[in-house]
Amino acid sequence: MWTVRETTAKSILTPVTGFLKEAGFTHSLTPARNCTYGCLYCYVPTMRLFGGLQREDWTHWGQFTTLKTNAAELLTRSRHAGQVIYCSPLVDPYQPTERERPLMPDILQELIRRPPAVFVFQTRGPLILRDIDLVRELAQASTVRISFSITTDRDDVRRRYEPHCESNQVRLRAIRQLRDAGLEVYATLAPLLPCNPEALAQLAIEASGRDLIGDPLHIRPTKAHGATTRETAFEVARRYGEEKWLEPQFQIEIVESITRRAKAAGLDFSVGPAGFGRLARLR
Ligand code: SF4
């Protein structure tokens, strides 16, 4: 089980740089530090101080989280008109502890009062369904998009690399429920874990009915600087003979395979800032 800590933050909206800026976002909103999903590949702990972390966060990634308990209050002091907000590059807003210690309902209430131009949820947590009425209300005032992570079609792989995340079946069902509620929800194939790429694409298309977004696992040959895949994921890949999923040429072939499957359905698949740029578009 996880330990939950609390802090009061000085600010809650951060101007973005790099990948997110290139994609078209202006700000990020991060309600907690350290994420109790604790995925073995998560790039956030590799950012260390640049990710706003403290040493214990990157040495004990996923074992605790520190909630910014004044997040909603901080939002009352700022204007968000014109902002294109990504929530979040550093934590899943619907991480497991959000069930017992909810921050998102109050945050959403404040955003409804002062709506940004675009608000994007980056999550893999079916718990977002708890807040569906608030999400729909925000979508009346703002452009709301949900980027829902699906990383593989194989649950044995999911258990290896992201053991605290919900099963693929539960996540695909959540996408369908969000879609049925009239929300703009994308199946985001990121990071691409060992999978049958065509089968994964098919499941994602059936669930979301939209263009697909994704990204292979970050690796130094294609991303020389900044955040990258944690060593723990490399260890698992070696143990299960899955190292090729961290090789540039193989990653290109997987992306091409998913792109072909999407095109056959009349849809697009795009990766990197171009892919995530779909989420940031102004209407
Ligand atoms: S859910 Fe996202 S932020 Fe949380 S540990 Fe997994 S990859 Fe990292």
Question: What are the chain's domains?
Answer: 3-280 (3.80.30.30)
Is 37 touching ligand 1 by the criterion CB < 6 Å?
Answer: yes
Closest residue to atom 7 of ligand 1, CA basis = 42
Closest residue to atom 8 of ligand 1, CA basis = 42
Place of tokens 């330990």: 3
What is the structure's pLDDT at 204?
98
> How many beta carbons lie within 10 A of that of residue 180, not counting itself?
9
Is 35 touching ligand 1 by the criterion CB < 6 Å?
Answer: yes
Q: Determine the angle formed by the axes of helices 197-208 and 168-180, rounding to 10 degrees.
A: 30
The pair of three-digit structure tokens given for residue 224, joined into one six-digit string: 């020389």
Is 124 touching ligand 1 by the criterion CB < 6 Å?
Answer: yes
Is 189 touching ligand 1 by the criterion CB < 6 Å?
Answer: no
For residue 42, the CA-to-ligand 1 centroid distance in Å is 5
Residue among 20, 29, 39, 171 to mutate when testing ligand 1 (max atoms within 8 A of CB) = 39
Averages of pLDDT over runs of 10 residues in the chain (283 residues) are 94 95 98 98 95 95 98 93 97 98 98 97 98 98 98 98 98 98 98 98 98 96 90 97 97 98 98 97 93
What is the structure's pLDDT at 2?
87
Place of tokens 């990071």: 191
For residue 150, the CA-to-ligand 1 centroid distance in Å is 12
For residue 264, the CA-to-ligand 1 centroid distance in Å is 31
Backbone angles phi, psi at 182, to 5 degrees: 85, 15
What is the structure's pLDDT at 226?
85
For residue 169, the CA-to-ligand 1 centroid distance in Å is 18
For residue 37, the CA-to-ligand 1 centroid distance in Å is 6
Is 233 touching ligand 1 by the criterion CB < 6 Å?
Answer: no
Buried b (16+ CB within 10 A) or exposed e, 200-214: bbbbbbebbebbbbb
What is the structure's pLDDT at 41?
97
Left if phi > 0, otherwise alpha if psi is -120 to 50, otherwise beta: which for 95?
Answer: beta
Burial class (CB in 10 A: 0-12, 13-18, 19+), 245: buried
The DSSP 8-state label assigned to residue 272 in this structure reads H
Residue among 37, 152, 188 to mutate when testing ligand 1 (max atoms within 8 A of CB) = 37
Ligand 1 atom closest to the Cα of residue 88 is 3
